[in-house]
């Protein structure tokens, strides 16, 4: 089976939607990092449950919005973990 090609324009549009949602998340909740992997997983699990709800409802637009929410959680999760790793490394150096 051959898959349809996604246009570069649609990829760029999707990225822009994620970035816009990410900016809204930061404005609303600030830059306070997730506490760790367990919190990230918990928040992502809630979002994935909402994705499944929209799959079952056969609502493509809300399905897409929930996928965007998942992407935002993933991006902020990566940023939180990377930030924690840098802070942990700096703290370890200070203890020497």
The tens digit of pLDDT for each residue in 49-93 reads: 999 999 999 999 999 999 999 999 999 999 999 999 999 899 888
The tokens for 22 are: 């990410």
Domain chopping of the chain, boundaries? 14-95
CB 70 within 8 A of CB 51: yes
Judged against a pLDDT cut of 90, whether residue 95 lies above it is answered with no
For domain 14-95, say whether CATH 1.10.150 is its number: no
Which pLDDT value is given to residue 84?
Answer: 94
pTM above 0.85, yes or no: yes
At 8-31, the pLDDT tens digits run 999 999 999 999 999 999 999 999
Beta carbons within 8 Å of 77's beta carbon, 6+ residues apart: 34, 40, 43, 44
């Amino acid at each position: 089976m051959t898959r349809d090609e996604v246009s570069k324009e649609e990829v760029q549009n999707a990225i822009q939607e994620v970035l816009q949602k990410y900016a809204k998340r930061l404005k609303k909740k600030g830059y306070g990092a997730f506490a760790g992997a367990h919190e990230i997983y918990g928040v992502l699990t809630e979002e994935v449950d909402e994705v499944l709800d929209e799959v079952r409802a056969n609502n493509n637009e809300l399905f897409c919005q929930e996928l965007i929410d998942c992407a935002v959680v993933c991006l902020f999760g990566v940023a939180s973990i990377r930030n924690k790793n840098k802070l942990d490394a700096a703290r370890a150096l200070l203890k020497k």
